[in-house]
Amino acid sequence: MRKINVGLIGFGNVGSGVVRILQEKKGLLKAKIGIEVNIKKICDKDIISKRNVSVDKDILTKNAKDILGDPQIDIVIELIGGIHPAKEYIIEALNRGKSIITANKALLAQEGKELFAIAKDRGKNIYFEASVGAGIPIIKSLREGLVANRFNGVYGIINGTSNFILSQMSDNNCTFADALRQARLKGFAEKDPTLDIGGIDSAHKLILLVYLCFGKLIEVDDIFIEGIPRIALSDVNYAKELGLEIKLLAIAKKQKDELDVRVHPTLIPKNHLLASVGGIFNAIYISTDLAGNLLFYGPGAGQLSAASAVVSDLVDLVRDMKAGLFRSSLNVVPDKSISKLKKIDEIESRYYIRFMAVDKPGVLAKISGILAKFGISIASVTQKERRRAQVVPIVMILHESKEKSLRQALSLINRLDIIKENAVAIRMEEV
């Protein structure tokens, strides 16, 4: 075997980055793996626009069948994103005996159970390093480097857009709207950033991390998801006064026989490593039984960062094909000690709460009375300066409370005529 032929579906930002790496590092890669990797065909709906790489026009096509039906193509790289037609392309490629590399976290999170089963049945692999953390080698580390470990918890800052916004608010004292505007100007936010700032993108990636760490392929509906749009600059600044930082965290932690999985804004101590992760950078903090606590850190976006992860998968596949081996990319063993997923109502946490209340006597008594009714005690309370016509922010830190009790209490408090906005509640994690 002297050459491996690859078909690339998706010639956008990451796809052109993959081609660039394979062109610029051709000699290095061949020296390391002993085989030439050849891009035989590239499919994209736009084959006219200029990219930052040059390719022979003869290898460009708008028809994915030119790749899927080519018996000389051994590996298909899918980089178009979305569910359809990406799912259909992958299934057809697997059925035709081709291995798959993808960065499509939404597809794997939603349809992974079916796709992984088809791959196993066909004796082929689906590699997906670029789907979480771009160039951070977290998938390979979980699959291989930590293969003998049991996992206690995963805490991830795994959405660059949200992290950039919160970092801008914290570092430059700007509002959420201004930070989002900056993210768009710099190309860090989509025209519609809902999936990013709403926590859905983080949830998709968390599903894959949970699968690799705990052997449970859960669904998006199994995850409590809360985004960052209600986080105000005042919340960021109050948190800093308390020695805390707000981050959008993807959390999966084992508690006895339960798995607690959620995505939401989280207050963490300012001296924790995760608190210092700024801008579009990502970080995944892993707690294991053998290797201890580990932090994986790096750019969470970027053409070459994500393309580097795709090429890493490609090299793994080529080495196996050269050796005539089939190594399952998913050496996943379910953690049988986990019997159920923990519901969000059942979690217990400390909380930061901000109320916007009328500035008059008796307000604190009414709020604290309702909290006490649900068995919730207050660790500290601060009434901040007046912001507008007789309305002031009241900031409370609550002792550990059950989520269900807090929600019930806040539902009653929000209906009081002295409360002018629904309370902002942010969970706190020691990590």
Residues identified as active-site? 205
Residue 43: name the closest of 114, 83, 93 by CA: 93
Q: Which pair of tokens denotes residue 2?
A: 């002297």
CA 379 to chain CA centroid, Å, is: 32
Helices (H) and strands (E) in the chain, counts: 14, 17
Could you tell me where the beta strands, DSSP code E, fall in 215-339? 224-225, 244-255, 258-269, 281-288, 293-299
Q: Which pair of tokens denotes residue 302?
A: 């970027």
Using CA atoms, how far apart are residues 130 and 112, in angstroms rounded to an integer? 15
Using CA atoms, how far apart are residues 153 and 145, in angstroms rounded to an integer? 17
Residue 414 identity (one-letter amino acid): N
Q: Are 286 and 250 in contact (CB under 8 A)?
A: no
Task: Provide the H-helix boundaries in 242-392.
Answer: 303-323, 363-373
Phi, psi (degrees; rounded to nearest 5) at 72:
-85, -10
Could you tell me where the beta strands, DSSP code E, fall in 128-274? 151-157, 224-225, 244-255, 258-269
